[in-house]
Amino acid sequence: MICPVKHLVVGTAGHIDHGKSTLVEALTGIDPDRLQEEKARGITIDLGFAPYRQGDTQLAFVDVPGHERFVRNMLAGASGIDFVLLVIAADESVMPQTREHFDICRLLGVGGGLVALTKADLVDEETLELVRLETRELIAGSFLDGAPLVAVSARTGAGLDDIRRELAALADGVTGRRDGGIARLPIDRAFTVRGFGTVVTGTQVSGVIEGEGELALLPAGRRVKVRGLQVHGEPRARSVGGQRVAVNLAGIGVDDLQRGDTLTVAPGLRATRRFDGHVTLLDGARPLKYGARVRFHQGTSEVMGRLAIGAARPAPRRGADAARDGPPVFPSVLKPGGSAFVRLHLEQSVALTRGDRFVLRAYSPMITIGGGIVLDPDPASGRLRSAAGFERLRRLDTLDDDRAAVLTMVDDAAGAGLTLDALAPRVGRELTAVRRVAAALAKRGAVVVVGERLIAAAPVAAAREALLAMVGAYHEEHPLEPGLPREEARERLAKRGGQALFDHLVSALAAEGELGGGRHLTLSTHRIVLTDDEARVKAALADLLQREGLSPPDPLAWAQGQGIDEGLADRMLKLLLRDGLVERLDTLVFHRDALERLRTDVVQLKGAAGEPVRIDVAWFKQRFGITRKFAIPLLEYLDRVRVTRRVGRDRIVI
C-alpha cells in the first residue's frame, strides 16, 4: 500500500559556489553544511541533508558537492533521488560542473525537476534572460526539457515562494514510493555516538526497515542487529523508501563499515563482482576500448572495474518488432554517444540488482564518461560476444517485464534450474513477487516448479525423453534384469540436471503410469518374454529347490551336471530371486515355500510347550535332518525374521 505521507528525495546539483546549500537553508531553515571544514572553506565537501514538509509530502533534500574534486560524493547523493533541483548562478551561468552534474542526473534516470537561477539579485534582467537561454540550451531534449526556470535570491527571499510552489507541483506529479520492495539502505556515513555506539546513515531506496530486528550488511555478508532508527533526526519504529535514515547497529564497529556498504534483508540482495548491463557513452566522452579500466559508481559505492563490450544495443523494441533488427554488431570500441551491452568485472564486490542505474567515470582524468543499467547482477558464464549472448541481453533489456527476466535467468540454468531465493536478488523483487511470477510462468507451461526450484520447460522435456530412452535401452540390453538401477540412472542423467529434476521426473512418470520407480526403473510397457529353453530351465530350477527343501544343492553345479548352459542357468536363477520365489541365504539358495514351512514349524514349538523354548545347533540339525552347512544360515535367517533370538550359543523362540 502507499504510505499516507509521500516520501521523496530531492537532489540539488550544480557548480561550486552557485548557492545550493544557501538555497536549501533558505527553504528549510537547516544548514546542510555539517562539516567544520565545509564552513571554513565555504564549499560542500560531503553530502548534506535537510528535511522539508510540504503538505502530505515529506521531502528530503540531498545537497551534493559541486567542486570537481568532490564529484564522487555528488554521485553518492544523486543515486536514488526522485527529482533534481538544478542550481545555476545567474552571475556565472552554466559551468563545467553544472554540465557534469546534469549528465549524471540523466545517466541515473532522474525523472524530473526544476531549475533555480540563484543570485538573481546580482544581475540585471538582460543578463538573467541570457542565462535562461543558455540553460534551455543545456536541458533541451532531456528530462528537464520544459521544466520551470525560477529566478531566486536566497539573500533577499525573492523567488523562494515560487520554488516552493514548483516543488509542490512536482511532488503532486510523483506517486510516491511503496512500502513493498527489497529493504535497501546504501550507507554514506558511519560514526560513533556516545551512549549508543555505531550509527550509519543513508537515503533508503526501497522497502521497510524495522526499528528492531536483523539486517544483512553487504558486501561483507554479516548479520547485524538494529537497535533503533531515526528518520530525519526523529526516532521512528520503522523507515520506508525515500526517507533519510540513521540506523543504530549492534555488534559491529565503525572500522568494519564504509561508504558503499549496503544494509538489506535476506534474501534481498547479494554482492557481486561481475554483472551484465548496458552502457551509453556521453556525446563528449572519448571512445572507450574493450577492456578499458573505469570507475564504477552506484548508490554510495565507488569501485574500479574493467569493461567487456558485447553487442551494440539497438533501440528497445517489443514483440514482433524485436525481430526487425539486423544481425548483432560487436564493436571493439564504444564511440561517443554509442550504446552497447556490456559485462563489467569489478575489483571489489558491490550489492547490485537488476534495474540499478550506474555511472562510469574515466580512470584518468576523473571525468564522467557514461552510465547504464544493470540487467543481470549474476550472469551465467556464457559468451557475451555471441548471437545467443545478444539475444539473452535483449530479452533482459525490458526492465518492466519480470516474466521475461525470470524466464531468461531460468533458461540460463538449464536443467539445474534456480531456486526462488536465488532468483529474487537477481530480479530485484521480493520473494513473494517472484513466487507470483513463477506461478504465472508455470501456468502457461514455460517453467516447471520443483519444490522451491524453477526449471525451464524445454530442458525438463528433454530430460524426460532422455530418461525414458535410457530405461528402454537398458531393457533391450538386459531383458531379464529388474530394470535400470535408480542410482545409475541418476548419475547418467546428472549432466541434464540435478537431483531435484531427477526425482521430479521419476515421480511424475510413475504418476502418469509410464515408469515403475523403485530401486530399479522399469518401463510400464516392459514385459519379460522367455524362450522355451529359458522357461524350461527356470521351471526346473524352481522344482529342484522346492523338492530339496532345507538341503538344496548348488543350482549352478546342478545345471552343469544336467548339461545346461551355466550362463542360462544363472540368468534364470536371478529371475527367480527377483520374483521372490527363492531367497539367497549366505551362499545357499532356498525355495520360498521351504522357508515358510520352517518358520511355521519353529513358531509352533513355543505354542506346544507353553513356555520359552531353547534350541541349539545340534537340536536344530537333528530336528530338521540337515547338516551344519545348512543349519547355520537357516538359524541366522530365523533371527533376522524375528522368529528366534540368539542368547549366547543358544536361541530362544520369540
Give the pLDDT confidence of 223-232 residue by residue, as tens digits.
Answer: 999 999 988 7
pLDDT band at 266 (very low <50, low <70, confident <90, very high): confident
Query: Is residue 70 scored above 50 in pLDDT?
Result: no
Q: Domain end: 397, 426, 454, which one?
A: 397
Task: For residues 510 and 407, state if they share a domain.
Answer: yes
- Residues 237, 166 within the same domain: no
Do 214 and 286 lie in one domain? The reply is: no
Cell of 373: 543499467
The arithmetic mean of pLDDT across residues 9-31, rounded, is 87
What is the H or E stretch that residue 453 is in? strand 453-456
Mean pLDDT for the stretch of residues 305-313: 96
pLDDT of residue 51: 74
In degrees, to the nearest 5, what angle opens at C-alpha 641 toward C-alphas 635 and 642?
A: 85
Side-chain half-sphere CA neighbours of 74 within 13 A = 30
Residue 578 counted as domain residue: no
Give Cβ neighbours of residue 620 (< 8 Å, ≥ 6 apart): 626, 631, 634, 635
Lowest-pLDDT choice from 96-110, 340-354, 404-418, 542-556: 96-110
Lowest mean pLDDT among 125-134, 316-325, 496-505: 316-325
114 is a domain residue: yes
Tens-digit pLDDT profile for residues 207-217? 899 988 899 99
Q: Which one, of 27, 26, 23, lies nearest residue 14 by Cα? A: 23
Contacts of residue 142, defined as CB under 8 A and 6 or more positions apart, other chains included, come to 102, 106
DSSP string for residues in 30-76: -----SHHHHHHTS--S-EEEEEEETTEEEEEEE---SGGGHHHHHH
| Residues 49, 95 within the same domain | yes
For residues 53 and 565, which has the higher predicted lDDT (pLDDT)?
565
- Supply the DSSP string of 287-320, one letter for each residue: PEETT-EEEEEETTEEEEEEEEEEEEPPPP--GG
Q: At 438, is the pLDDT very low, low, confident or very high (cuts 50, 70, 90)?
A: very high
CATH of the domain at 101: 3.40.50.300
Q: Which is nearest to 353 in space by CA: 184, 526, 512?
A: 184
**328 inside domain:** yes
Interhelix angle 628-640/617-624, rounded to 10 degrees, is 110
When computed from its CA atoms, the radius of gyration of the chain, rounded to whole angstroms, is 38
Q: Identify whether 541 is part of a domain.
A: no
Report the DSSP pairing between strands 368-376 and 234-236.
unpaired
How confident is the model at residue 11, as a pLDDT? 84
What cell numbers appear for 291 in the block?
Answer: 577492456
Domain shared by 202 and 106, yes or no = no
Q: Are 425 and 353 in contact (CB under 8 A)?
A: yes
Measure the N-to-C terminal CA separation of the chain; round to a whole number of Å: 69
| Predicted TM-score (pTM) of this structure | 0.76
Is residue 233 domain-shared with residue 328, that is, in the same domain?
no
pLDDT at residue 471 is higher than 70: yes
Q: Which of 203, 230, 264 is the last residue of a domain?
A: 264
Interval 445-450 mean pLDDT: 93
| Position 247, amino acid | V
How many residues does this entry show for the chain? 654
Strands 113-118 and 149-151: parallel
Average confidence (pLDDT) over 247-260: 91
Q: Which amino acid is at 179?
A: D
Domain interval for residue 460: 401-529
**pLDDT level of residue 161 (50, 70, 90 thresholds):** very high
- Decide: helix, strand or coil at residue 206: strand
pLDDT, position 285: 93
**Residue 132, SS3 per DSSP:** helix
CATH of the domain at 506: 1.10.10.10
Residues 214 and 360 in one domain: no
- Relative to beta strand 614-615, strand 650-653 is antiparallel
405 and 393 co-located in one domain: no
In CATH, what number is assigned to the domain containing residue 252? 2.40.30.10
Q: Which amino acid is at 50?
A: A
Residue that finishes a domain, picked among 219, 241, 264: 264
Beta bridge partners of 274: 345
304 and 364: one domain?
yes
The backbone torsions φ and ψ at residue 588, rounded to the nearest 5 degrees and listed phi first, read -105, 155
pLDDT confidence of residue 162: 96
Closest CA to 344 of 388, 397, 317, 304: 304
Q: Are residues 452 and 492 in the same domain?
A: yes
Do the domain assignments include residue 568?
no
The answer to whether residue 555 is domain-embedded is no
Retrieve residue 212's grid coordinates: 528492531
590 CA to centre of own chain: 58
Contacts of 346 (CB under 8 A, 6+ apart): 272, 273, 274, 275, 296, 303, 304, 305
Counted domains in the chain: 5
Query: Is 40 in the same domain as 133?
Result: yes
Q: How many CB atoms lie within 10 A of CB 134?
A: 13
With a cut of 60, say whether residue 68 has pLDDT above it: no
Query: Got the DSSP string for 249-275?
Result: EES--GGG--BTBEEE-TTT-EEEEEE
Using CB atoms within 10 Å of the CB of residue 120, give its burial: 0 to 12 exposed, 13 to 18 middle, 19+ buried: buried
577 domain-assigned: no
Between CA 654 and CA 652 the distance in angstroms is 6
Q: Using pLDDT thresholds of 50, 70 and 90, give the confidence band for residue 317.
A: low
* Mean pLDDT value of segment 73-78: 46
Are both 377 and 416 inside the same structural domain? Answer: no
Read off the pLDDT of each residue in 584-608 and give the average, rounded to a whole number: 91
Band of residue 324 on the pLDDT scale cut at 50, 70, 90: low
Determine the pLDDT at residue 80: 63
Q: Is residue 567 part of a domain?
A: no
